[in-house]
Chain A
């Protein structure tokens, strides 16, 4: 549509102003703060070069947080995405029962992480919690564990809590993708004698490619964002064993008043997020081109 040159900018003035103040400028500032020793209170601070990053690379707690984020990433991509796909295949029908079941499965997604954390804290509580008492009741008492107090188990327990909603999210994305799979094609394969597995693997799955790309990208981003569940359920404990980058960053910056160090963690998170996404997207594009030729 034709108009005076300044009209689009007039529409964009307020959104861009707000975005600059609260999003763009802070990103730049975090990069700068990551090279300082600012404590969050003092008016002044000094530039300390790569000091914060050097510290983190030698910091055992940081290594644990980084490793835990890798576990979260694997949990979200290698567990939530396939199970979400399986559930989507299972529930890809219409009808009252299917719709009611789907709504109930989606429901956890609408709950705040804090609420989910509260619910699962009770379920995982070691003495009276539902999971352990249930295990003893069915004769598997030997499997009962202090889920959130055992440093070797706690991260897996937290990931399991997060998967409750994440699987549903993946399922929603795949169900939406399945609307674009033409039924005739699946039926044609069936007429040609393809088994159910072959129909899934050779006909349906390739057509779900866009949904797969999105589900994996979103899972990567969400796994690196994990904060609420960790902070509310364990504060990263016991002894920092369940820390993730986001949580460690918050603790460094707002509990220990080491803003410079916190900013450095944020920068590392930023670099990881964008390299994961761009690696993945580049791989997808190359595959796509490979197919075309």
Chain B
């Protein structure tokens, strides 16, 4: 039995190393000089060139793109959590005629292929003058993520004891106060899970930025990398450094709040 355990450990480590090898290779690539890059392949660099990172940051404007990503991601995240928690509160705490149809609309919307929305959202943004601005992408993210977030939070709020709200009501609390002071604090773990997940999704969005943003100054980091690729043809070391910079915030988020991230992925999917 003991021998088997070591075999299993070995198996784990080998699989994991194979699994993360693309990441390791990217890290090595980001630390190499261009000359070395064309000679050796997957090996660690012989001479380390960390200056690739500042170069990608300033010459490649990754710093600016990362700032743009934060400018887009943070308000989108706050907005969608606020709106979806209000919706979820109404759908889970009150009995009213359209509760089920409204929930179904949110769920169906989250399954629709993005392509169904692309042309009209582009046209709408152009018509109301929010095309090619932070606001256009932010408002879209807030609205589009509502489907998943409302569904997710409703399922969670459904497990809260209604008697708690009723007691507050008897004490004269207003509906909004019940939502804000009682319901929200009780669903903090679900909000945390949702926030980690949504941060990653919005940060990593490429398609909607591609459709709704044109000017370089407003581009988030996902578009920024492809700009970099066009500028530095075959300078894979700098592109690798830029990609790692772009990946850092969501990876950090994942490492810090891993439990929430995984809970979010599975709670959203499994609770029905």
CB-nearest residue of chain A relative to B117? A26
Q: Is A120 interfacial (CB-CB < 8 Å)?
A: yes
Q: Is the CB of A269 within 8 A of B247?
A: no
Size bracket, chain A contacts? 35 or more
List 9 A–B pairs whose Cβ atoms lie within 8 Å, in order of A's numbering. A1-B165, A23-B147, A25-B124, A103-B255, A104-B16, A110-B200, A253-B119, A269-B116, A270-B115
Q: Which residues of B contact A1 (CB under 8 A)?
A: 93-94, 162, 165-166, 169, 178
Name B residues whose Cβ lies closer than 8 Å to a Cβ of A. Answer: 8-9, 11-13, 15-16, 19-20, 22-23, 25-26, 29, 37-38, 41-42, 83-84, 86-87, 89-91, 93-94, 96, 99, 102, 105-106, 109, 111-124, 139-140, 142-144, 146-147, 150, 162, 165-166, 169, 175, 178-179, 200, 203-207, 210-211, 221-222, 225-226, 229, 236, 239-240, 243, 246-247, 250-251, 253-255, 258, 261-262, 265-266, 269-270
User: Which of B29, B38, B175 touches A7 (beta carbons < 8 Å)?
Assistant: B175
Q: At the interface, is chain B mostly helix, strand, loop or mixed?
A: helix
Supposing A115-B225, A119-B22, A253-B119 touch, asked if A277 and B111 sit within 8 A by C-beta, the answer is yes
Q: How far is the CB of A109 from chain B (nearest CB, A)?
A: 8
Q: Smallest Cβ distance from B219 to chain A, in angstroms?
A: 12
Tell me if A26 and B115 are in contact (CB < 8 A).
no
Chain A residues closer than 8 Å to B9, beta-carbon distance: 97
Closest to A93 in B: B8
Rounded to whole Å, the gap between the CB of B124 and the closest CB of chain A is 7
- From the candidates B122, B229, B250, name the one contacting A112 in the complex (CB within 8 A): B250
Across the interface, do B113 and A270 meet the contact criterion of CB distance under 8 Å?
yes
Pick the contact of B115: A22, A115, A269 (CB < 8 A). Answer: A269
Instruction: Report yes or no: A227 in contact with B121, Cβ–Cβ below 8 A.
Output: no
A82 vs chain B, min Cβ distance (A): 15
| A195–chain B nearest beta-carbon distance, Å | 15
User: What is the chain A residue whose CB lies nearest that of B94?
Assistant: A8
Cβ of A249 < 8 Å from any Cβ of B?
yes
Given known contacts A104-B19, A265-B115, A113 and B204 CB-to-CB distance under 8 angstroms: yes
Q: Which residues of A contact B258 (CB under 8 A)?
A: 103, 106
Given contacts A8-B90, A23-B147, A30-B120, contact A266 B115 (CB under 8 A): yes
In contact, B41 and A128 (Cβ under 8 angstroms): yes
Chain B minimum-CB-distance residue to A177: B270
CB distance from A255 to the nearest CB of B (A): 11
Chain A residue with the shortest CB-CB distance to B265: A172
CA distance A115 to B9 in the complex (A): 30
A149 to B134, CA, bound (A): 36
Q: Is the CB of A106 within 8 A of B90?
A: no
Residues of A within 8 A of B117 (CB): 22-23, 26-27, 30
Whether B120 lies near A110 (C-beta < 8 A) is no
Question: Roughly how many angstroms separate A119 CA and B96 CA in the complex, as a whole number?
Answer: 51
Complex Cα distance A142/B143, Å?
Answer: 51
CB neighbours (8 Å) of B115 from chain A are 245-246, 249-250, 262, 265-266, 269-270
User: A169 at the A/B interface (Cβ < 8 Å)?
Assistant: yes
